[in-house]
Amino acid sequence: MAKIIDGKYLAEEILTRVKSETARLQQHGRQPGLAVILVGADPASVLYVASKSRKASACGFHSRTIRLEDTVSQDEILEQIRQLNADEAVHGLLVQLPLPKHIDTQTIVQAIAPEKDVDGLTYSNAGRLASGGSGGFTPCTPAGIMYIVRHIHGDDLSGLDAVIVGRSNIVGKPTAALLLAANATTTIAHSRTRDLPEVIRSADILVAAAGQAEMIKGSWIKPGATIIDVGINRIPASRHSGEKTRLAGDVEFDTASIIAGHITPVPGGVGPMTIAMLMANNLTAAYRAAGADVPELS
Ligand code: GUN
């Protein structure tokens, strides 16, 4: 039976450091500021943004949420970004994704000043990560995944096979860069991969970020593997539960947890780590803006 990784506990370790280093920066008269732009009212996005804002306030940050109608024009969003790029009280700025169909996501994301891009999605930050450069921002979910992986396997993944299912800019590709930098033999699988079960069977470390509820079955998993489930999918609940829906990961937890060595639950695994890493990135942005040495947060 797998050990269940407590993402909330690990996230609290990071948040404790963020809070004390925020207090230290505030002694020098500087308060970190985080701004989040939310376009429209996608229910999941509304919940995620509220949770980021709550956590930012709990860390001692100034937190601002800019809500825009889903009919807003691309130019209006760009104007908001220009103002926030120039606002010295704002150290980190992100636009919650996905955006409505009439908006070009890359145009919006690339307008964010790289030094405030706490999601790590601008070309400058993504390029630094891909080339092994320091001084940028690592996307929050991949940073959280690596914190969990280091907790279990240590810093050096030499000799281990890692498989990521999913090739998004926000999770799959940056996670691959980080696993590779830590010496894992790294494969990115995706919806067009031939014989996905066979590829997954080779994984000592499996990162599931495909966005399809319970698509990865226990019988595909290598005995003793570490399973990091990034999926957050809402599916119908079983009839006896009394609930209409429940959250499920991309991995079938009940069958996988019998075979795996370690597994993250959904919810309570990767989710809290993502938010903790966003707070760490935002504090890093504030320290850099102050010209101060950035403390070790994760
Ligand atoms: N939507 C889902 N996850 C994320 C994230 O980490 N950042 C942004 N900006 N949007 C998201």
Per-residue pLDDT band for 242 (boundaries 50, 70, 90) equals very high
Q: What pLDDT digit, counting tens, does each position of 102-115 carry?
A: 999 999 999 999 99
| Ligand 1 contact via 270 beta carbon (within 6 Å) | no
Tell me whether residue 232 is in a domain. Answer: yes
Q: Domain residues for 94?
A: 30-113
Distance CA 84, CA 228 (A): 34
Cα 93 to chain center, whole Å?
Answer: 15
Q: Ligand 1 pocket check: which of 170, 171, 277 to mutate, most ligand atoms within 8 Å of Cβ?
A: 170
Per annotation, catalytic residue among 116, 117, 119, 222: 119
Question: How many A from CA of 170 to the centre of ligand 1?
Answer: 7
Tell me whether residue 82 is in a domain. Answer: yes
Can you tell me which atom of ligand 1 is nearest the CA of 278?
6
Asked if 202 and 251 sit in the same domain, the reply is yes
Residue environment code for 154-189, b if the CB has 16+ CB neighbours within 10 A, otherwise e:
eeebeebbbbbbbbbbbbbbbbbbbbeebebebbbb
Minimum CA distance residue for ligand 1 atom 7: 96
Residue 75 known to be catalytic: no
State residue 198's pLDDT score. Answer: 98
Residues 6+ apart with CB under 8 A from 116: 84, 85, 90, 91, 92, 93, 285
Q: What pLDDT digit, counting tens, does each position of 159-172 carry?
A: 999 999 999 999 99
- Phi–psi pair at 57, nearest 5 degrees: -65, -40
Q: What pLDDT digit, counting tens, does each position of 44-71 carry?
A: 999 999 999 999 999 999 999 999 999 9
Distance CA 297, CA 137 (A): 13
The total of structural domains in the chain comes to 2
Nearest to 161 by CA among 110, 96, 214, 206: 206
Asked if 220 and 102 sit in the same domain, the reply is no
Residue identified by tokens 């319970």 is 214
Asked if 162 and 264 sit in the same domain, the reply is yes
State residue 212's pLDDT score. Answer: 98
State residue 72's pLDDT score. Answer: 98
Asked if 165 and 45 sit in the same domain, the reply is no
Residue 52 known to be catalytic: yes
| Ligand 1 contact via 257 beta carbon (within 6 Å) | no
| pTM score above 0.85 | yes
| Ligand 1 contact via 140 beta carbon (within 6 Å) | yes
Report, as an integer, the average pLDDT of 264-277: 98
Asked if 172 and 213 sit in the same domain, the reply is yes
Segment 155-158 long-range contacts (CB within 8 Å, at least 24 positions apart): 155/182, 156/182, 156/183, 157/182, 157/183, 157/184, 157/205, 158/183, 158/184
| Ligand 1 contact via 96 beta carbon (within 6 Å) | yes
Question: How many A from CA of 220 to the centre of ligand 1?
Answer: 29
State residue 57's pLDDT score. Answer: 98
Distance CA 149, CA 87 (A): 36
Indicate which CATH number applies to the domain containing 95.
3.40.50.10860
Tell me whether residue 85 is in a domain. Answer: yes
State residue 186's pLDDT score. Answer: 98
Minimum CA distance residue for ligand 1 atom 8: 96
Report, as an integer, the average pLDDT of 118-134: 97
State residue 89's pLDDT score. Answer: 98
Asked if 148 and 102 sit in the same domain, the reply is no
Q: What pLDDT digit, counting tens, does each position of 68-97 carry?
A: 999 999 999 999 999 999 999 999 999 999
State residue 298's pLDDT score. Answer: 92
Report, as an integer, the average pLDDT of 179-195: 98
| Mean predicted lDDT score pLDDT of the chain | 98
Asked if 202 and 80 sit in the same domain, the reply is no
Asked if 90 and 208 sit in the same domain, the reply is no
DSSP for 20-56, written as a single string: HHHHHHHTTT---EEEEEEES--HHHHHHHHHHHHHH
Asked if 95 and 195 sit in the same domain, the reply is no
Asked if 182 and 247 sit in the same domain, the reply is yes
Residue 96 known to be catalytic: yes
Question: How many A from CA of 175 to the centre of ligand 1?
Answer: 15
| Ligand 1 contact via 97 beta carbon (within 6 Å) | yes
| Ligand 1 contact via 284 beta carbon (within 6 Å) | no
